[in-house]
Amino acid sequence: MLTMAAALNAGLRKAMETDPKVLIMGEDVGTLGGVFRVTDTLQKDFGANRVLDTPLAESGIIGTAFGLALRGYRPVCEIQFDGFVYPAFDQIVSQVAKIHYRTQGKVKAPLTIRIPFGGGIGSVEHHSESPEAYFAHTAGLRVVAPSNPADAYQMIQQAITLEDPVIFFEPKRRYWDKAEVDLDAAPDLALDRARVVVPGTDATIACYGTMVATATAAAKIAADEGHSLEVIDLRSLAPIDFDTIETSVRKTGRLVVVHEAAGYVGLGAEIAARIGERCFYQLEAPVLRVCGFDIPYPPAKLEEHHLPDPDRILAAVDRTLAA
């Protein structure tokens, strides 16, 4: 049994053992092992030349890593908290995301940017955000979010091997969730494929990151009430595996999209539009969204009112089943 933090640590370790060009860099990732201890002991085992403690300057972290990626290295950057990524936003969307297109494929940027995201840990301002839509909207970036330790272990390794830059969102509320992780198993899914985690027939719930556990809990409650919900873990936010969602919706006829980021122009809106186009004649009800509210991320004491919970998900399920 491993926590998600320990599974990520194991995945990073294996990537570094496999390829000497893999570097880790970020604030406090070395001596401290990261705020969430995801990089614990890696500097001790691989040395300060491969696990680098950087200054408190996110634009400098990404800018330096971008240069290293252009020279053949595979940097893995840690942004300590989601709200700290914005100083590096220009580097990511203006340089990292565009270099492949700008050079007509001649130059690649195999750079992985790890970002703990989401709420639920009672942290202070700027330490809980859900900025995934910014990056999913940006052409040239892959955006992924594991929801459990086993996927975290495999997906971090898959991300590092890609020639594309990857924004790797880690649901910080799930860092301490434990599950079985086979350290010798090969990945069972490509990085851009979704996973059906709970099969069902009455309605589909599409979600990712922290919300997968929440939606699974809602599905268990619904089962006790006689309703069969299919829960899909998107895993990849750019690109999105619409084929898996479409297959499910053609079976269930109903779709609820869940994420804790704000609803306005969020991932749920894109999924609703695409599935509305692809499954118009199979949908028995409008696609519904259960999201965080369209406000700045609230103070810690108000998080529980902002974050979607099983009750809000089940209320949406009741609405779609009644339609």
Active site residues: 127
Contact 28, 80 (CB under 8 A): yes
**Coil/strand/helix, residue 22:** strand
Q: Which of 317, 310, 322 is nearest to 289 (CA)?
A: 317
The tokens 């220009």 sit on which residue?
Answer: 90
Radius of gyration of the chain (CA): 19
Q: Which of 159, 151, 154 is nearest to 184 (CA)?
A: 154
**For residues 13 and 95, what is the distance between their CA atoms, to the nearest angstrom?**
28
Phi and psi at residue 25, to the nearest 5°:
-150, 145
The tokens 């940097």 sit on which residue?
Answer: 75
**Angstrom distances, CA of residue 280 to CA of 181, 205, 255, 265, 287:** 39, 17, 12, 21, 10
Helix, strand, coil proportions of the chain in percent (round to 5)? 40, 20, 40
Count how many residues are written for the chain. Answer: 323
DSSP letters spanning 47-91: -TTTEEE--S-HHHHHHHHHHHHHTT-EEEEE-SSGGG-GGGHHI
